[in-house]
Amino acid sequence: MKTNKTLIATLLLTAAFAGQALAECEVNLRSADTHPDGYPTVEAVKKMGELLKERSGGRICVEVLHSAQLGEEKDTIEQTQFGVIDMNRVSLGPFNNIVEETQVVSLPYIFRSVEHMHQVMDGEIGQEIMAAFQPHDLVGLAFYDSGSRSFYNSQKPITSMADITGMKFRVMQSDIFVDMVAALGGNATPMPYGEVYSSIQTGVIDGAENNWPSYDSSGHFEVAKYYTLDEHLIVPEILVMAKKSWDALTPEDQALVAQAAKDSVPVMRELWSAREAESEAKMRAAGVEIVENVDKTPFIEAMVPVYEKYVTTDKLKDLVTRIQATE
């Protein structure tokens, strides 16, 4: 009897604490991510949530819905614009057809290195691109890393551009990437990330392109073991918030959100570097055939028509010139 009473008391106390914890969380920001739990982007947004909860005295929480629980990137972007999803961590690639300014940082070989990309995104140009999300009902909070993307396929080692002729690749949902593959002599199919594994497996496509951590965590290496380090894209990623969710916050809380997002960037960069090295080592150990010293010059030269097609307005021309001039 006594034990029962203790048990009931304990249960009541636990329930009271749980209730209190929930009640404290006045605002719960749901954040989408296509990547699995533990991936650097997912962990960085969780970290942002921890900082925010702490600094708001437990009032504002972030719930990261990873593993594409809320859908594929293109759909979650729309839902974030509508305010159905509060926050979203996405590549800038799928934004190309919505926010024109993101096209310049999605151009192949626009960045000479990840350091060059950091210089650009951490400075004035990054701020301008961030501001360009506002008219599309989104508030840009932070840019994250994504290393560099290279081609992989199930058929053969790609040692030069000529090997790409006639091959079929999946690309992210943006016209630039379709034209990029065409300029190299291949065929591209824009497709949601979640469909790539089975499409390679069933031979609908020969391969895709991505960075080491995505190639690893998606399991694509299991069905496409030839990876060529041509590093054609260094596309930054972004954490955005629905304007609707942003407007529902007080200016003080908006400042807390912005600061927590900013503070998650160095955390993300550290997680990213570690994960990139870890995934690369894992892929090598798994027997992936890597083509390392591919001559990038023909790849770079082949991109001239892509730049000509997309860099057409004065605004975009100016951005490209300033990016190229950034040390």
Question: Closest CB to ligand GTR among 93 and 108?
Answer: 93
| Two tokens, residue 238 | 């972004």
Task: Give the separation between CA 11 and CA 36, rounded to whole angstroms.
Answer: 34
Question: Closest CB to ligand GTR among 211 and 245?
Answer: 211
Residue 144 Cβ vs ligand GTR, minimum distance, rounded to whole Å:
8
Nearest partner of 196 among 222, 218, 179, judged by Cα: 218
Q: CB-side exposure of 218: number of CA atoms within 13 Å? A: 28
Residue 170 Cβ vs ligand GTR, minimum distance, rounded to whole Å:
8
**For the chain, how long is the longest CA-to-CA vector?**
82
| Two tokens, residue 199 | 């499409």
Residue 236 Cβ vs ligand GTR, minimum distance, rounded to whole Å:
10
Element (H, E) at 131: helix 124-131
Question: Closest CB to ligand GTR among 53 and 149?
Answer: 149
The site for ligand GTR (CB under 6 A) is made up of: 34, 73, 90-91, 93, 146, 172, 193, 210-211, 214, 237
Residue 18 Cβ vs ligand GTR, minimum distance, rounded to whole Å:
34
Question: Alpha helices of 132-250 — where are they, by DSSP H?
Answer: 175-183, 196-201, 212-217, 243-247
Question: The tokens 């819905």 sit on which residue?
Answer: 65
Question: Closest CB to ligand GTR among 193 and 226?
Answer: 193
Question: Closest CB to ligand GTR among 161 and 239?
Answer: 239
Exposed / middle / buried, residue 19 (Cβ in 10 Å: 0-12, 13-18, 19+): exposed
Question: Closest CB to ligand GTR among 220 and 225?
Answer: 220
Residue 47 Cβ vs ligand GTR, minimum distance, rounded to whole Å:
17
Residue 37 Cβ vs ligand GTR, minimum distance, rounded to whole Å:
14
Write a three-state SS string for 108-123: CCCCCCHHHHHHHHHC
Question: Closest CB to ligand GTR among 56 and 146?
Answer: 146
Beta bridge partners of 239: 89, 142
DSSP 3-state of 288: coil
Residue 280 Cβ vs ligand GTR, minimum distance, rounded to whole Å:
14
Q: How far is CA 13 from the centre of its chain?
A: 42
Task: Give the separation between CA 240 and CA 76, rounded to whole angstroms.
Answer: 11
